[in-house]
């Protein structure tokens, strides 16, 4: 199951008609293709518009060359259905968009439309799903359901794609890493940005930088600072208000800047003496000259014992004065190991004197495996040298065009990153831009319907169906099974023959330990409506 699905479904009850509209106010009955209206008119003209139709919404292939998909977007679909009514303004626009020969009675018909005759069964949001199995079954008057095709496919397509992308990033990064979605600036417009934040959280990310998504959905917000903040400073002299009260409030350090500078000098001296000590040790093993050469090259190359950038130090001190309890510094504006990390450490040590614990650093360029390992060594050396508990565990965040492949490469090389900030590749779904969700008629007036195709993968599977997930002894799912609506359901401990829908040679007997019906009713239509609807939302955002 998806990481978020592990939280378990959280059922909420809503009053009929009291369901909020879609998050994006652009999601209206007009957010559909013109041909849905022309077909609706032709159904109406032919007197067919009330015929009871069943459509399946599904996809044909898992995205990103993968083996699974995370189903997302259902809540927004229900919000659309619950509020599906045309305004006079919208009807007037449709009138101008259809040929003038269309009869006035059709617009009266549109005026009366809502989704009280529509029934929606669906798999719960956040579930792992597979090709060809209906994610949603939409049943209702053919003309109404036809109008729903485009917005429903639209609401599921990107949501499921990006949730899957997020789940795949989570899988590669591992459970213990913090995953931060940083994609708003690179997303496909405002809706892409809001959707990415919502569905990346559903797919297993921990937080977003997107403030609007934090407000709308209660997703935890996280962030660091940018290079602009660092490069906006010139020198520590710019800092006017230099005092900082200790964490417990018991004392005030009047000149925090000087305290940081003292630590910067101590760090430099200490590291030089550590290096000298190592050189003496090595000389005893008759490798003195070789190591001396090597040590000199470290001094020149690594340079962590030389001068750090003072404007960067000023930026870090200012940030620490503003956020002493949440100090996190971007260390790659000038030079990570020569300047950023020692400057961060000097500020963190000064904060430590006042009882604060610095959060960590962010790396945003260069070889992230190497730099994270070097930084960790540096933090551990400080912990050891100054006896500062857990300094070696100071958090390292990495960003910069990360994607599944770079995360995998970092794992293979070995790294010390605790948190990844991921934007562009995640939210734009760079590796695959669309899921290819389709919406196909499978039954009308209780008669099955099929769409044939030269391409066997495009042949639709007719009939109103039920779908089951069969679980094995260890509690893992074995197979998803589709049956006709009125066929007897599979039963636990009873052997059942499962066949691939198109490949006769793929078949297997399965004895399930447990059977789960996958599609549940999320919108019962008028038949079950007695003032209240029970809507079984998987609500990720309520706790
Ligand atoms: N150890 C690593 N293994 C694999 N990929 C890495 C590793 N470290 C960083 N990367 C990735 O390599 C790319 C780094 O690109 P590149 O070196 O061109 O830019 P940069 O480090 O941002 O440098 P600059 O910003 O100075 O141009 C990023 O996509 C980053 O995620
Ligand atoms: O790299 P992404 O996965 O999209 O993550 C978000 C990026 O956005 C920010 O910088 P921005 O890209 O705006 O500037 P930069 O490339 O110069 O760092 C941030 O520093 C990250 O690098
Ligand atoms: O908070 C951050 O560090 C951040 C936010 C968005 C994009 N890049 C970085
Ligand atoms: Mg960038």
Q: What is the pLDDT of residues 46-81, one digit of tens each?
A: 999 999 999 999 999 999 999 999 999 999 999 999
Is the Cβ–Cβ distance between 418 and 178 less than 8 Å?
Answer: yes
Closest atom of ligand 3 to 330 CA is: 3
Which residue is closest in CA terms to ligand 3's atom 3? 224
Task: Please give the residue that has the higher pLDDT: either 269 or 341.
Answer: 341
Q: How much of the chain, in percent, has pLDDT values that exceed 70?
A: 87
pLDDT of 499 > 80? The answer is yes
Domains in the chain: ranges and CATH: 2-173+434-462 (3.20.140.10), 174-223+399-432 (3.20.20.70), 236-361+372-395 (no CATH)
In this prediction, residues 396-403 reach a mean pLDDT of 98
Instruction: Give, for ligand 3, the residue of 186, 206, 223 to mutate: max count of ligand atoms closer than 8 Å to Cβ.
Output: 223
Measured at the alpha carbon of residue 188, what is the angle toward residues 185 and 191, in degrees to the nearest 5? Answer: 95
Q: According to the model, what pLDDT value does residue 307 have? A: 84
Which numbered atom of ligand 3 lies nearest the CA of 362? 3
pLDDT at residue 525, rounded to an integer: 86
Q: What is the pLDDT of residue 9?
A: 36
ipTM of the complex: 0.97
Nearest Cα neighbor of 330 from 364, 354, 300 is 364
Best CA proximity match to 345, nearest among 394, 273, 298, 300:
394
**Which tens digits make up the pLDDT trace of 418-430?**
999 999 999 999 9
Q: Is the pLDDT of residue 405 over 90?
A: yes
Predicted confidence at residue 457, as pLDDT, reads 84
Which residues are near ligand 2 (CB < 6 Å)? 182, 186, 364, 399-402, 421-425
Give residue 536's pLDDT band: very low, low, confident or very high (50, 70, 90). very low
**Atom nearest to 367 CA in ligand 1:** 8
Q: What is the dihedral of CA 151, 153, 155, 157, to 10 degrees?
A: -150
Give the ligand 3 atom nearest the CA of 397.
3
460 in contact with ligand 1, CB cutoff 6 A: no
Q: What is the DSSP string of 418-437?
A: -EEEE-HHHHTTTT-S---E
- Dist. CA 173 → ligand 1 center (Å): 17
Mutate to test the pocket of ligand 3, among 399, 401, 424, 425 (most ligand atoms within 8 A of CB): 399
Residue burial 242-276, b: 16+ Cβ < 10 Å; e: rest: bebeeeeeeeebeebbebbbebbeebbebbeeebe
The stretch 325-336 carries a mean pLDDT of 98
Which string of b and e fits 54-85 if b means at least 16 CB within 10 Å?
bbbbbbeebbbebebbbbbbbbbbbbbbbbbe
Tell how far the Cα of 332 is from the centroid of ligand 1, in angstroms: 12
CA–CA gap between residue 501 and residue 465 (Å, rounded) = 13
CA gap 502, 498 in Å, rounded: 12
Question: 209: Cβ below 6 Å to ligand 3?
Answer: yes
Cα 188 to Cα 430: distance, rounded to the nearest angstrom: 11
pLDDT for res 306: 63
Nearest to 436, CA basis, from 165, 55, 56, 59: 59
Nearest alpha-carbon partner for 5 in 135, 124, 164 = 124
What is the torsional sign of CA 254, 257, 263, 266? negative
| 197 pocket-lining for ligand 3 (C-beta < 6 Å) | no
More confidently predicted of 501 and 293? 501
Residue 295 has a pLDDT of: 41
Instruction: Point out the ligand nearest to the CA of residue 364.
Output: 2
Q: How far is CA 447 from the centre of its chain?
A: 40
**Tens-place pLDDT, residues 229-281:** 999 999 999 999 999 999 999 999 999 999 999 999 999 887 766 555 554 44
**Terminal alpha carbon distance of the chain:** 19
- Rg over alpha carbons for the chain, rounded to the nearest Å, is 30
Q: For residue range 431-443, list pLDDT tens digits in order.
A: 999 999 999 999 9
70 alpha carbon to ligand 4 midpoint, in Å? 27
In whole angstroms, what separates CA 542 from the centre of its chain?
Answer: 17
Q: Is 371 in the pocket of ligand 1 (CB under 6 A)?
A: no
How many angstroms does the Cα of residue 333 sit away from the middle of ligand 3?
Answer: 14
Q: Which ligand is nearest to the CA of 227?
A: 2
Confidence of residue 527 (pLDDT cuts 50, 70, 90): low
What is the sign, positive or negative, of the torsion defined by CA atoms of 192, 193, 196, 199?
A: negative
Q: Is the CB of 232 under 6 A from ligand 1?
A: no
**Average pLDDT over the chain, rounded to an integer:** 90
Q: What is the pLDDT of residues 85-94, one digit of tens each?
A: 999 999 999 9
Q: What integer pLDDT is reported at residue 17 of this predicted model?
A: 54
Q: Report the alpha-carbon distance of residue 23 to residue 6 in Å, rounded.
A: 24
Other residues' Cβ atoms within 10 Å of the Cβ of residue 153: 21
Q: Give me ligand 1 centre to Cα 366, in Å.
A: 5
Contact 209, 180 (CB under 8 A): yes
Return d(Cα 280, Cα 287) in angstroms, integer: 10
**Is residue 297's pLDDT more than 50?**
no
Find the mean pLDDT for residues 456-480. Answer: 94
As a whole number of angstroms, the distance between CA 420 and CA 346 comes to 24
Rounded to the nearest angstrom, the distance between the alpha carbon of 518 and the centre of ligand 3 is 38
């Amino acid at each position: 199951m998806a990481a978020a699905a592990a939280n378990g479904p959280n059922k909420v009850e809503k009053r009929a008609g009291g369901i909020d509209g879609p998050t994006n106010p652009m999601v209206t009955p007009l957010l559909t293709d013109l041909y849905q209206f022309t077909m609706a008119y032709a159904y109406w003209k032919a007197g067919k518009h009330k015929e009871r139709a069943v459509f399946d919404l599904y996809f044909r292939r898992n995205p990103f060359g993968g083996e699974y998909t995370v189903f997302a977007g259902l809540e927004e679909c229900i919000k659309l259905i619950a509020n599906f009514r045309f305004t006079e303004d919208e009807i007037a626009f449709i009138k101008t968009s259809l040929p003038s020969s269309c009869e006035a009675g059709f617009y009266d018909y549109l005026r009366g439309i809502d989704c009280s005759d529509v029934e929606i069964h669906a798999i719960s949001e956040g579930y792992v799903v597979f090709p060809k199995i209906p994610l949603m079954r939409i049943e209702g008057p053919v003309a109404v359901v036809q109008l729903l095709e485009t917005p429903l496919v639209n609401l599921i397509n990107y949501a499921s794609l990006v949730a899957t992308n997020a789940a795949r990033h989570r899988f590669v990064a591992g459970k213990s890493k913090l995953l931060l979605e940083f994609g708003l600036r690179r997303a496909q417009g405002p809706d892409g940005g809001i959707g990415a934040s919502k569905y990346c959280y559903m797919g297993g990310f921990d937080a977003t930088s997107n403030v609007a998504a934090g407000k709308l959905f209660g997703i935890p917000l996280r962030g660091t600072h940018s290079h602009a903040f660092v490069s906006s400073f010139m020198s520590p002299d710019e800092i006017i208000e230099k005092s900082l009260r200790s964490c417990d409030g018991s004392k005030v350090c009047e000149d925090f800047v000087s305290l940081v500078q003292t630590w910067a000098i101590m760090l430099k001296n200490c590291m030089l003496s550590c290096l000298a000590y190592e050189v003496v040790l090595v000389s005893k093993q008759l490798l003195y000259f070789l190591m001396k050469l090597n040590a000199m090259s470290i001094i020149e190359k690594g340079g962590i014992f030389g001068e750090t950038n003072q404007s960067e130090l000023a930026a870090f001190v200012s940030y620490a004065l503003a956020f002493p309890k949440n100090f996190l510094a971007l260390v790659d504006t000038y030079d990570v190991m020569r300047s950023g990390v020692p400057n961060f450490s000097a500020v963190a040590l000064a904060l430590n004197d006042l009882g604060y614990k610095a959060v960590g650093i962010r790396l945003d360029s260069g070889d992230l495996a190497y730099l994270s390992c070097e930084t960790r060594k540096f933090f551990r050396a400080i912990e050891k040298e100054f006896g500062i508990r857990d300094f070696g565990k100071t958090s390292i965040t990495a960003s910069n065009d990360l994607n599944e492949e770079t995360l995998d490469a970092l794992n293979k090389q070995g790294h010390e990153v605790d948190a990844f900030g991921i934007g562009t590749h995640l939210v734009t779904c760079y590796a695959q831009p669309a899921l290819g969700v389709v919406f196909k008629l499978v039954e009308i007036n209780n008669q099955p319907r099929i769409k044939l195709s030269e391409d066997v993968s495009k042949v639709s599977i007719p009939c109103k169906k039920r779908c089951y997930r069969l679980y094995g002894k260890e509690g893992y799912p074995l197979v998803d099974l589709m049956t006709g609506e009125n066929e007897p359901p599979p039963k636990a401990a009873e052997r059942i023959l499962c066949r691939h829908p198109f490949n006769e040679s793929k078949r297997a007997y399965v004895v399930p330990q447990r059977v789960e019906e996958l599609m549940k009713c999320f919108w019962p239509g008028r038949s079950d409506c007695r003032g209240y609807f029970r809507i079984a939302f998987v609500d990720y955002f309520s706790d």
